[in-house]
Structures are given as C-alpha cells and as structure tokens.
Amino acid sequence: MLSCTTPYGTLQLQRYPASRNAALQAFDTADLYLLQRVQQEPEGDRPLLVINDGFGALACALAAAGKTVHSWGDSWMSWRALQSNLAANGLGSDAVRFFNSTETPTARYQQVLLRIPKSLSLLQDQLQRLRPLLADQALLLAGSMIKKAPPSARDLLAAHIGPYQASLGWKKARLLQCQYDPSLQPAIRDLTSHYPLEGTDLQLRNRPGVFSREKLDIGTRVLLPCIPADLGEARVVDLGCGNGALGVLAAQRNPHIQLTFIDESWAAVASARDNFAAAFPGRSAHFVVGDGLSEATTNSADLILCNPPFHQQQVVGDQIARRLFRQSHHALAPGGRLLVVGNRHLGYHQTLKRYFDTIEQVAAAPKFIVLAAS
C-alpha cells in the first residue's frame, strides 16, 4: 500500500494482486495529471464517468472528494483493485458505480476521464458507445503516458467525439482535451473480428479489445495440436481463455467433457461464450470472469489448458503466469495435468518446478514450447 497525493487529498492505493515490488504502483502521473485538470472544471450535477481506471486511483480520488462517480472498464482485476482501494480509504463499495465492458453506463455525462487503452479497437468501441451518453458541451479528458499512447487515438477522438487540444507533457504524461461536437455523424462500425479456428470448420469471433484480434496467436497455434481427444467426461479448464480457442477445440474433440472458460476480461469471456454457443448449440459450459482459479476448490480440474498473458496493464513479466501455475496446482486432481505454452525465453520449465513434480516438453516451435506439468 503506497500513499498517493492527489489534488483531492492523499490516498492509500495498491495494485491487485498486491505486489512486493514498490516500483509497481497503483497510479501514475497520467492519473495525477487528469485529476489536476478536472479539478479546474466547475462543479456539475451529473455523475462523472471514469473509463479504463487501471487500479481505481481516479475513481477513488473523485469519490473521496464527494463526487458522484461511475466507472467503466473491461478488467475484473481493475474492478477488484477499485473495491480494495475504496475500502482502504474508508469508502463503501457503493461509492463508485461500476459498469463492465458488456454493459453500457446509464447516465448522461458532462465530464469524462479516459485512460487511453493500448487496444485501438477497444478505444473505438468505447467511443462509439460513449457518444450517445454525452450531454451538451461535454468535456472528455483523455490521458496516457507519452511513450504508451497509440498515435491513432487522437484521430479516433476527433472522429467520434469532437475537436481536441493536446496538453504539454508533464512528468512523461500528456492529456488530450476533447470537446463534444453534436454535429458530428461518425460511422458506427461492428468491431467484432472473425477468423477460422485452424484444423476445423469453425469460425472464432473476437469482441473489441480481446487478445489475438485478427488471427490466432503463435502460442495458441502451437498448443492446439497437443489437446487430447480421449478425455471422456474430464473436467477441463481453459484458463486465461481469451476468445476460447483452446476450450472450443477441446470440446470438439471431446463431446462429453465438463468445460470451464476463465478470464479476467469481460469481453474475452463474452467472446468465448459466443464461440462455444455458435460451435455447439445446446451444449453447456461454465463461464467465469475473475482472478483465474483463485476461487477453485482442490481436486476440481483434470486438465487445465493455459496460454498465460505476460503483462498486466503495461507491466511485462511472468508474475501472472506464476499466479496461474500456483492456482492450477491447487485445483488439479491427482493425476491431473496442466498444459501450458510460452516463449522459450520465459523459462516456464523452471517456474513450474516450484509447484509440480513432473515437467515434460510435449511440443516445440522456434520460439515457443508446450509443457505438461503434473
């Protein structure tokens, strides 16, 4: 838990999951810059909307100042961090109303704070859905760290909201101040992408912002042939499922498995649900948005399929993979296996030895390997 001094007071904030690395803060200077700028605006009687609030720093600061705050985002981890940080600062869970990415906020907004996401498809989807919610003369303040800002974000803001002004840089952060222009008539696009699931006649749908948007990523392609076809009624988990490619192929090869899709992204789990329903009408599966297998009981899975993400927000590393491996060890039944794919340089074979007795390489590509852990 670190102190964060904002224009609205000092907060105690931490990431979720909590990290021992003091350099991994739950806020950055783009958050502080946004708060400085919105403080200059006159008080209004409408809720203030915060979009893509990484660990809840923006919403907590505004709620602590007594403002009515709505928050909108795709990450369960971000929502969980928001809940923890509200409690750490003496605020109730109802101090901020949260909408996940499959929902649409329900108010009209005069002021919007937006953290620009890395995914342009997610940004465009959010702007398309935000525009009808804006009140006359609404102000959108978009912030990012300079080196992480997608160049095309400015064009999307201008096309969907209105003219913008770029701020001066401050401590490696920059803001875009965008004034709502009601005369604009931007084209509304269906931003769902489609492509085939290799080795099948099935099509995969990706909602905006979901990993592997235009085609299957290399890691998934390497792991797919390793999925067994003799699983009977085994309990199978697609962990960090994304659009559900691994689980869908497992279901095609094994018509009687008990299948669960898990991801921390609401859009990812919705994509997996879309793809499973389209491929297997009438069949059932479980769909979970949350922190991996953190709520799983022991002996609750026989096979776990995993292509772990190697970044959370903008931080790259194996911290998420370690967490998923530890959770998998807890959830697997005796004789169960974890099938995991990763870049060779990540050294997953060494990491897995902390949790599993037997590690076996079952497939390889120039940059990727598939490991079975039991």
Domain boundaries, the chain: 2-179, 193-373
Which residue would you say has higher pLDDT here, 185 or 21?
185
The closest of 222, 336, 341, 240 to 349, measured between CA atoms, is 341
Are the C-beta atoms of 236 and 302 separated by less than 8 Å? Answer: yes
The model carries a pTM of 0.95
Query: How many CA within 13 A on the CB side of residue 74?
Result: 26
Tens digits of residue pLDDT in 15-50: 998 877 767 889 999 999 999 999 999 988 999 999
Q: 310-367 pLDDT, tens per residue?
A: 655 555 557 889 999 999 999 999 999 999 999 988 889 999 999 999 999 999 999 9
Q: Return the ∠ at Cα 346 (arms to 345 and 352), rounded to 5°.
A: 130
369: exposed, middle or buried (Cβ count in 10 Å: 0-12, 13-18, 19+): buried
- pLDDT, residue 317, reads 58
Maximum Cα interatomic distance, the chain, rounded to a whole number of Å: 65
What does each C-alpha distance from 80 to 56, 76, 253, 256 come to in angstroms?
A: 9, 6, 35, 34
Q: Are 247 and 307 in contact (CB under 8 A)?
A: no
- How many whole angstroms separate alpha carbon 183 and alpha carbon 104? 23
The residue written with tokens 């530890």 in the block is 326
Q: Both tokens of residue 149?
A: 């800002």
pLDDT at 182 over 80: yes
| Residue 304 pLDDT greater than 90, yes or no | yes
Does 3.40.50.150 match the CATH number of domain 2-179? yes
Backbone angles phi, psi at 28, to 5 degrees: -145, 180
CB-based burial, 199-236: b 16+ in 10 Å, e otherwise: eeebebbbbbbbbbbeebbbbbbbbbeebeeebeebbb
CATH number for the region 193-373 comes to: 3.40.50.150
